[in-house]
Amino acid sequence: MTTNKHFRNYKIKAFINLGAAALFTVLSLSFHADISLLAFPLALIYTGVTTYFTLNMIFKTDGTHYYKVIKFTEYLPYYMFITFIIRRAGKTGTSFVCDTITVILWFIMFVLSYLTSACLYEKKNEKITQGWKILPKKMHFKGWGKVIFETVDWIDSFVWSIFTVLIFQIFVIQLYQIPSESMVPTFLIKDRVFVSKIDCGPKFPLTDVGLPNFRKYKRGDTIVLRNPHYSLDRKSEVKSVTAQLIHMLTFLTVDINKDENGEQKADPLVKRITGLPGEQLVMQDGVLYVRTKDSDEFIASEIDAKYANWNLNSISDKNIKSNIQRFPLSSEEYQNMLDFEEERRNYDLDVAAFQASELSRKMKSLSYKDNLIGHFQEPDLSEYDLFNNVQKITKNIMCQEGGAEWFESFMTSWIPAKDNVRDYYAESNFRLNVMTKITLGKIIVRYAQLLNDNVSATAWTNDYELISYFDKANTLNWYIQGLLDERNMPLFPANDSNGNPQYIPKNCYFMMGDNRFNSLDLRHTMDYFTKELTSDDPISVKYESMMQPQYINKKYIVGKPIFRFWPLRRLGKV
């Protein structure tokens, strides 16, 4: 047997590589009746075949099967990567210690497989094969044999490249296509960016083992994160990793990353960091306020104001503006919103309290005292339903026992809390609740007056007072149902039951999109639910809300966009 130093170096690396593969295979054992059972036999077969050809070549110095050794060695880390995922795709997974050891073994295989296979190719193997009994044969093909060989070689190179890109995307840099307009004008739909992952703590799939998170995040950073609106439990993570693997192996033609309704998942997301550990936030009228344990005062965030976009019509860049697909508000609507918010801020609650009492008094005088039919049933307190069913509610108040009493309670229940101290958001919503009640009360009293005066229903549509009240009702509905949850955010994290401030925990962050009227971000849930406008009114008006702020741990931050490479006219650093 030859004893040249190049061959000895190769043997040492090959033995270590095969040893790592053997230990990796043992750690793939599973005793659970699920898909994880497949990992061990699959790893064992591949390791056995690779070991057979490699040792046969080493001990017999027979280069007959050297090409098989090259290919089996090249694919060893990628094949084992698949078995790694299969072993952890079961119901129980593996321990952190097992994951750590397995990852170390995989990394050894990844490095040594490259080193040992690279030195066996024709241009580099002369020193290694010097003195062998059977030298490797150079491969020469003609005709159809050459065509087949070239085709297989091309497919081999392509598949190998896909695996390499997959590993590269998991740990180093990923290509990401912007899926929505939540970050306009920073990003447009189908913008393509490079996302740096290596400094954001990338982890091996389905484990907590990986590189540490070196990046220090600050407010204003754009980041790519896992979508917390989807379940991030073990089952969904297995599906997500499997989908990514299939997507790559099918040359990007098959994507099974769908939700329970069969729709494409919006995962991951690109957002901007707006809340940091140790902070409590509140957003009102588009202004984000921040406070910390060191200060009880909320301070408006200048950095957030720099990036938040509320009026896309004001964008001066024509190239960006012409490629925006949806403008949530026209310039006129945006101004109407500002005017309404100014009206709400200046709304006089003392005057409103007097109006509420006067409307209650008038309604008592207009209600029928005799021949009451049935007992009054409290209507649905949804803002939309109250205005939509106001005629029916009016007649029930007038004609049913307890109707006038309910109306008085409804109109005045907020007054005891009128002078309470509230944060920006709570005070704003308290005022919206009062404005809604006063407007509804005016409509109800006016309808009652028309009924008492025997004015025909056909004449109601031309009644000036009703028209003006319904104009106000439409504005309230437009803001409460359409803009409230997009424009504002309650105290977050919420105070505890004793009123003590709570703060975003260590290593956790809060994110929003730049295009605030078109961003399903960490302010919202994906489902509507009925919510009271204020907790300071026992008979508060309600609305359909998506407001459910949450922060996420930095382990769910996938990476940071660093460079936009498409379209070319917007080429540059993010």
Structure token pair of residue 513? 């999109």
Output 383 or 244, whichever has higher pLDDT.
383
Would you say residue 405 has pLDDT above 80? Answer: yes
- pLDDT grade, residue 355 (50/70/90)? very high
User: How do residues 231-242 score in pLDDT, each as one tens digit?
Assistant: 777 777 777 777
Please list the residues that pair with 196 across neighbouring strands.
Answer: 173, 560
Give the residue carrying structure tokens 């998170």. Answer: 213
Would you say residue 1 has pLDDT above 60? Answer: no
Helix (H) or strand (E) holding 427: helix 424-452
Query: Cα(482)–Cα(518) distance, rounded to whole angstroms?
Result: 11
Instruction: Return the C-alpha torsion angle 515, 271, 294, 289, nearest 10.
Output: 10
Would you say residue 370 has pLDDT above 80? Answer: no
In sequence order, what DSSP letters do the residues of 333-348 get, joined into one string? HHHHHHHHHHHHHT--
CB 521 within 8 A of CB 511: yes
Structure token pair of residue 428? 């704003």
Q: Which of 224, 196, 226, 200 is nearest to 211 (CA)?
A: 200
Output 368 or 410, whichever has higher pLDDT.
410
- pLDDT grade, residue 309 (50/70/90)? very high
Mean pLDDT of the chain: 90
Name, of 42-46, 127-131, 179-183, the range with top average pLDDT.
42-46
CB 496 within 8 A of CB 502: yes
Q: pLDDT > 70: what percent of the chain?
A: 97
The pLDDT assigned to 248 comes to 64
- Please name the amino acid found at residue 33: A
The pLDDT assigned to 176 comes to 85
Structure pTM? 0.84
Instruction: Return the C-alpha torsion angle 42, 46, 48, 54, nearest 10.
Output: -170
Give the residue carrying structure tokens 């050794």. Answer: 69
If you average pLDDT over residues 89-100, what whole number do you get?
89
If you average pLDDT over residues 382-401, what whole number do you get?
94
The phi, psi pair for 65, rounded to 5°, reads -110, 25
Please report the sign of the dihedral spanned by the C-alpha atoms of residue 18, residue 21, residue 26, residue 31.
negative
The pLDDT assigned to 297 comes to 92
The pLDDT assigned to 150 comes to 75
User: How do residues 461-478 score in pLDDT, each as one tens digit?
Assistant: 889 999 999 999 999 999
